[in-house]
Amino acid sequence: MNKRILVISDMHLPYQHKDAIKFLAEIKKEFKPDRVINIGDLLDFHAISMHTHDPDLASAGHELTIARKYVKELESIYPQVTEVDSNHSSLVYRRAIKYGMSREFLREYGEFLGTKKWKWVDDLTLTMSNGQRCFFTHGRSADVLKVSQTMGMSAVQGHYHTKFVVSYWANPDNLFFAMNVGCLINQKSLSMNYAKNFRTRFILGCGIILDGIPRLLPMVLNDKGDWIKKIV
């Protein structure tokens, strides 16, 4: 176990890139991961965002209905996933707290999404197959190297859609890595309109850790914006 750890982040369902799920299915065929971690923002929850939301997008109920369809597709590919809490994924609970609603009125994520074996956690620390530990979080710092150094172990995070990088640092005893895994968003969606004038663009992809060694897996697009249907 933990020999081939797939790390996904920031799909923002139902506003993901149209080929994102096909890309993840191909990764399963090629790498056969024995652990799958989604480190946050699986759903966008645009309609209940704390920020301005676009009135031409789906209502909260319709958005969830569409997102559930994609969750089912993902679950058919990856029946067991560990989901890490994040700013978008926690929006339902944050909204409830803001308006004084007890948690007794709320359902668990797995219940309202209909997943059977997916598990939700705040953050996650795993021992990799090489014996070293790795910390998985949604986004603690714009510099993931600082996250790794603060935790004293390797670290992986998402949240920063434009960051897709592996860095290393060492102490006298060990070599550690720090990885940002990008996102799988459709940047042209109205839900991402806030970023339309950003000079830096979103980077699509995910990461995999093979026997303790990190590797970035970019989702390369052609000039029409379609995935090239090949893992590079």
Structural domain contains residue 162: no
The pLDDT score that the predictor gives to residue 27 is 98
pLDDT at 88 over 80: no
> CB–CB of 41/13 below 8 Å?
no
Total structural domains in the chain? 1
- pLDDT for 167-220, tens place per residue? 999 999 999 999 999 999 998 887 777 777 777 889 999 999 999 999 999 999
Domain of 69?
Answer: 4-122+182-218
Structural domain contains residue 87: yes
The DSSP H or E segment spanning 149 is helix 144-151
Structural domain contains residue 103: yes
Annotate 58-121 with three-state secondary structure.
CCHHHHHHHHHHHHHHHHHHCCCCEEECCCCCCHHHHHHHHCCCCHHHCCCHHHHHCCCCCEEE
Structural domain contains residue 35: yes
Alpha helices per DSSP H over 131-185: 144-151
The pLDDT score that the predictor gives to residue 95 is 61
Q: Name the band, by pLDDT with cuts 50, 70 and 90, for residue 48.
A: low
Structural domain contains residue 196: yes
Q: CA 158 → CA 8, 112, 206, distances in Å?
A: 8, 24, 9
Count of residues in the chain: 232
Structural domain contains residue 163: no
φ, ψ (nearest 5 deg) of residue 73: -60, -45
Angle between helices 20-31 and 60-77 (to 10 degrees): 20
The pLDDT score that the predictor gives to residue 198 is 75
> CB–CB of 20/219 below 8 Å?
yes
- pLDDT for 102-127, tens place per residue? 676 666 777 878 899 999 898 999 99
When the pLDDT of each residue in the chain is averaged and rounded to a whole number, the result is 89
Fill in the amino acid letter for 129.
S
CATH number at residue 101: 3.60.21
The pLDDT score that the predictor gives to residue 112 is 77
Q: Name the band, by pLDDT with cuts 50, 70 and 90, for residue 55.
A: confident
Residue 200's region, left for phi above 0, alpha for psi from -120 to 50, else beta, is beta
The pLDDT score that the predictor gives to residue 94 is 64
Structural domain contains residue 37: yes
The pLDDT score that the predictor gives to residue 91 is 58
- pLDDT for 140-170, tens place per residue? 888 999 999 999 999 999 999 999 999 999 9
Structural domain contains residue 8: yes
pLDDT at 89 over 70: no
Identify which of 42-46, 61-65, 114-118 has the greatest average pLDDT: 114-118
pLDDT at 93 over 70: no
Q: Name the band, by pLDDT with cuts 50, 70 and 90, for residue 63.
A: confident
User: What pTM was estimated for this model as a whole?
Assistant: 0.91
Cis peptide before 218, with omega less than 30 degrees from 0?
no
Fill in the amino acid letter for 62.
H
Q: Which two tokens stand for residue 157?
A: 């995070």
The pLDDT score that the predictor gives to residue 206 is 98
Longest dimension (CA), the chain: 56
